[in-house]
A = this chain, B = another copy of it.
Amino acid sequence: MPQVDEHLIDDDIDTSAWDGVPIRLRAAGLRWTPQRRTLVDVLREHQGHVTATELISRCRERDQTTTPSTVYRTLDVLEEFGLVAHGHGHDGREEYHVLPGETHGHLYCEACGRQWEIRPETGAAIVDALAADLGFEVDLSHVTISGHCQGCHD
């Protein structure tokens, strides 16, 4: 298991949030099953955003018996615990934001397909601008803005 004290630029995410999941589930009268463990293992390495479909196939890589319905149902449970949040990505599929505690938005590059996080300050600027506009209260974690990244529009 890697040390957490590495100097990671944009990675102050509390990965250990997942460690408490078994306990939290049981405390709520729910169960910790192999299938849920598989999904959580996959989620651990997917900070940011993933489509349900991708999660399903990643789970399948680890455990052939993984079933879509189980994944969807488990994601619902994890969402109630605030560990993931779902929205819709640029391609219109269910997309899950992992550990949405840090509410940042995403930028999607239509050319290279990569995604980028909107920095907190920039996100705040957007939130403020829209609040001033129509008194709109933005849910930043649901924001995915598409366009072209620096490398692709030069």
Give the B-binding residues of A (Cβ under 8 A).
87-94, 107, 109-110, 116, 118-119, 122, 125-126, 129-130, 132-139, 142-143, 145-150, 153
Contact = CB atoms under 8 A, between A and B. Distances in A.
Chain A interface SS verdict (over half): mixed
A130 B153 contact: no
Number of copies: 2
A89 B122 CA distance: 23
B138 A145 contact: yes
A150 B134 contact: yes
A96 to B, nearest CB: 13
B122 A137 contact: no
Contact of A136 (B107, B129, B137): B107
Contacts of A88: 88-92
Contacts of A150: 134-137
